[in-house]
Every structure is written in structure tokens, then in C-alpha cells.
Structure 1
Amino acid sequence: MELTEHLRKPARHIDEPSGIVVLRWLEAGWADFRAHFARSILTGLALAVIGWGIALGLGAIGQGWMILPVIAGAMMLGPMATVGLYRVSRRRAGLGCGGIAAPGQIFLVSVVMMVLALAWIRSATLLFAVFFGLRPFAGFAETLMTMFTTPAGIGLFLVGSAVGGLFAALGFAVAAFSFPMLVHRDIDGFSAMALSFNASTQNFRLSVMWGALVTALIGISLATGLIALIPIFPLLGYATWHAYADLFES
């Protein structure tokens, strides 16, 4: 019973300035990145290749307008791909060198995040139909131009950003620390998601800054055609582990 309660201990509240804390996480993540440079680059490259494949596939079937919603949904699934990176940081931090503590629960949380991502993609489809009607897709470039030059397009962008932001905030709150926690602690997935949500709300300003930084770096990755994602993704993965360790294991 005491062990179970220890595994479910909540996050601590960090009183330091958020900028200093985030910088500390990034510095620790950068140290892991340099120590495992080849593995980190290969991980980021694999994710970029998957992203390119999805974009080409959607374009080939005439669903190019789905590229941005799918990429936004993929951001919710990002923590699933960082489990291996968490193990690297965990080992370097001296918090264990074995396998994943709760692999079955990681699968459970992954399913929850996939459902959330699919719900967002479905919502994006409905929003597109509401603002543009059931007309044929004109092409990604044409639709992107329409989105920023017509009242309907601007309305879709604003409403879609608000709805997508709610999905992203919920996904971040429940997944940001639950995945590294399940790598380290043998607890159930719903407890991990609850603890992650609690950590995000208890350290609200810090979580907002961290989420904004992640969003900005992902935006840079998209602007560079996912090229910048190759180093950014593993860096964020390592830094997220150190964020979890700072909040839960200090």
C-alpha cells in the first residue's frame, strides 16, 4: 500500500521563474541529445519521413486540406513516439536502467490519445463543411489561400484554432507527463493521466510557457517542411523527461 501511494504521489509546485525552469529542462535535454547524437537524429528523421509520407498520401487521394488537421492531431500523439527517448534520459539521470515500467498502460494512454486525435480530425472535417459546404477540394494551396483571403476562410481559421486549441490543451495536460511517468512508474494509465493533469494545473504558468514553447518549435518545424523537426523532436523528448523528473522525482 505504501509503495502504491508513493507511485501516485503528485507533482510538486515549482516556485522558480518559469523561464529559468524551462531553460533548465532544455539544457538537460540538450546534454542528452549530444550524448546520443546519432540515435537522436535518426529518431527525428524517422518522424519527419512519416510526416512527409502522410502529406504525400493525403495529397494523392485528394484530401490535401486534411494535412494541417492531421498534423495538429499528430502533435497529440507525439509523446507516444518519445518513449525510447525517455528511457535514454532516465538512464542518464540515474533513475533506472531497465525496461519500461508499465508498457500495457502506455498502450492504454496511447489509445486514449488516438481517440482524442481522431475526435479533433472529425471536428475539423465538420468545421470545413460548415464554412465551405460540401464542395470538392480545390487543392491544398488554393484552400490555404482561400482560408486567409475570404470571410469564410478567416472564420474557419479562427474557430478551428479555438477548437483545436482546446483539444491540444487537453491532450497536453493529460499526456505531457503521463508517458514519461509510465516509463518510470508501474501504475495504471488513468492515474498517470490524472497526475499529469494535476501537474499541469498546479504549475499553470509553467505549463503554459512549456506548451507555448513546444507549439512554437513545432510551428518552426512545419514552416521548414519538417526539416527542423529532425533535431527539435528528440530535444523536446529529452527535455520532457527532465520536466517530469523535476516535477515528480526531485
Structure 2
Amino acid sequence: MSTDTETRAAAQIRIIPSDQPWLWLQQGWRDMVAAPAVSLAYGATIVLLSWVLAGVLSVADWTWAVLPMAGGFLLVAPFIAVGLYECSRRLQAGQPVTLRDTVNVFLGNPRIAYFGIVLLLLHFAWMRAAMLWFVLYFHGGTPPLGQIPLYLLDPVNLPFLIVGTAMGGGFALLTFAISAVSLPLLLDRDIDVISAILLSVRAVLANPKAMLLWAGLIALFTFVGLVTFFFGLGLLFPLVAHASWHAYRDLVG
């Protein structure tokens, strides 16, 4: 592998067509079809973990935290998807793919773990901000978990929903900017975390239309996954993860 300095010098940001994210989804779907067992294993794990977490929060009478925790999924999803990046990398290189291969990347690359800590800190910051906003706005608590969507759509609670969504969107955009290509980059090349983050931000700023479309698609797929009681994430999470690998390959020369 090359040194960090050589990698930074060689890494050039490409300018891509504004509709390129649609091609990434096509390529991601092909990867899912080529490695269905690995892809759906990750999707099923995400669904099961979401159910368990929502159940624990409901039993603990922390139903207010279900929505911000679900929204926080966008902040940690890039790290969870690393195994699927490895799957796509192996498929592109013509190498065999097993579930063990994709799990081992979490253990064999400490820089990925360091970036995971960055995402986890962002998630904690978002949860703290959401909790403070909830405490400031509400005084009588929230209804049972199943009634929360109707509760939040009540016109009386519209300011809470608008401000909370804006706060969550800010955290999500920051996470998107620093992680759009950084984790695939850390997986694929010998580069430090800070340089990977800076390259990711450069890639986003250099392709505003394409990356805005990509961010919107990710947000839409996440929303679909949440409103289907997490079932949709079983398919959409691996699809977006595989597509993100191809995004990296197109954006970073």
C-alpha cells in the first residue's frame, strides 16, 4: 500500500453527472443480486436490532427517544455498512465473498474503528440535543409508541416537529458530508482518518447537485424503512450500502 502522503496526492476528486446516483443504485442492486446471502444478512440484522431497540425504549417508558434514535440511524449507518462496502469491493475485484470476510474488516482496520467513534460521538450529540428539545417543549410526556405519529402530526405539536426535523437534518447533513466516501476510502486505501474526511467533504462540495440528490435518496429510503416498521430497511439498507461503494469509486480518482 502507498503511504498517506502518496495517497492524498493521488486522490483526485472527479466531477460527475448530476444524475449519477441513479446509476449507483443500479450497480448496488447488481451487487445485492450477486451476493444475496451476505446483503440480506446485514439487512435482517438491522431490522432485528431496530425492533429490539424500539422495544427496549418502549418498555423503559422512553418512547420519546424512539424517533430521534431512528433518525440517528443515518448517523451510524455508514459505519455499519462497512462490511457491505467490502462485499462490493470483493465483487468488483472478482474475489469470493463470504459473511466472515465482510465482518473481519471491522477487526483488521483500526482507522475504521476511529471513524466509527467519530460517528458515535455525533450520534450522542444528536440524542442529547433531541432530549433537551423534548424537555423544553413537552411537560406531560408522550403517548404510547403506536400513537406517536398521530401525536406529532397534531397541528399543536407542529413547531416541535419542524424544529426537531431541522436539528436532525443538520446532524444528518454533517454526517453525510464527512462520510460520503471516507469509510470506503479507509477500507480501500492507506490513508488517515482526517484526510479521508477532508476528501469526503471536497467530493460533496465539488458535486453539489449529484450529492444533494444522493442525500435526498438516502433520506427517502430511510424514511420508507422507518414507516414500514423497519421492514423496509432489510432491503434498502444493503442497497444503499452497495451503491455507496460505487459512489466512492466514481468520486475519488
Q: TM-score, normalised by structure 2?
A: 0.89
In the alignment, what sits opposite 1:103?
109
Name the counterpart of 2:207. Answer: 203
Counterpart in the other structure of 2:32: 33
Corresponding residue of 2:4: 4
Measure, in 1, the Cα distance between the counterparts of 2:247 and 2:70: 24
1:138 is aligned to 143
For residues 84-95 of structure 1, the aligned pairs below 5 Å read 84-94=83-93
Q: Is the 2:84–2:241 Cα contact (8 Å) retained in structure 1?
A: yes
Instruction: Give the equivalent residue in structure 1 for 2:122.
Output: 116
Q: Which residue pairs with 1:182 in the alignment?
A: 186
For 1:193, give the aligned amino acid.
Answer: I
User: In the alignment, what sits opposite 2:166?
Assistant: 162
SS at match of 2:81: helix
What residue identity is the alignment partner of 1:204? P
Indicate conservation of the 8 Å contact 1:11/1:198, yes or no. no
| Aligned-partner Cα distance in 1 for 2:16–2:192 | 29
Distance 1:202 1:95, change over 3 A: farther
Alignment partner, residue 13 of structure 1 = 14
Match of 1:222 in 2: 226
Q: For residues 86-141 of structure 1, what are the alpha-carbon distances to aligned partners after superposition, in whole Å with 9 as ceiling and x for unaligned?
A: 111112222988975971111111111111011111111111111113x3443234
Alpha-carbon displacement from aligned partner over 1:173-204 (angstroms, at most 9, x marks no partner): 11121111111012111111111111111111
- CA gap of 1:119–1:226, structure 2 versus 1, over 3 A, is same
Aligned to 2:53: 54
| Paired position in structure 2 for 1:245 | 249
Q: Select which of 153, 161, 166 maps to 1:148.
A: 153
Q: Is the 8 A contact 2:137 2:160 kept in 1?
A: yes
Structure 1 counterpart of 2:177, from 173, 177, 194: 173
Q: Is the CA contact (8 Å cut-off) linking 2:24 and 2:247 kept in structure 1?
A: yes
In structure 1, stretches of 5+ residues that fail to align are none
Q: 1:144 to 1:15 in 2, by over 3 A?
A: closer
1:219, distance to aligned residue in structure 2 (A): 0.9
Tell me which stretches of 4 or more aligned residues in structure 1 moved more than 4 Å.
Answer: 95-102
SS of the aligned residue for 1:93 comes to helix
Give aligned pairs, total: 244
Paired with 1:95 and 1:210, the residues of 2 have a C-alpha distance of 27
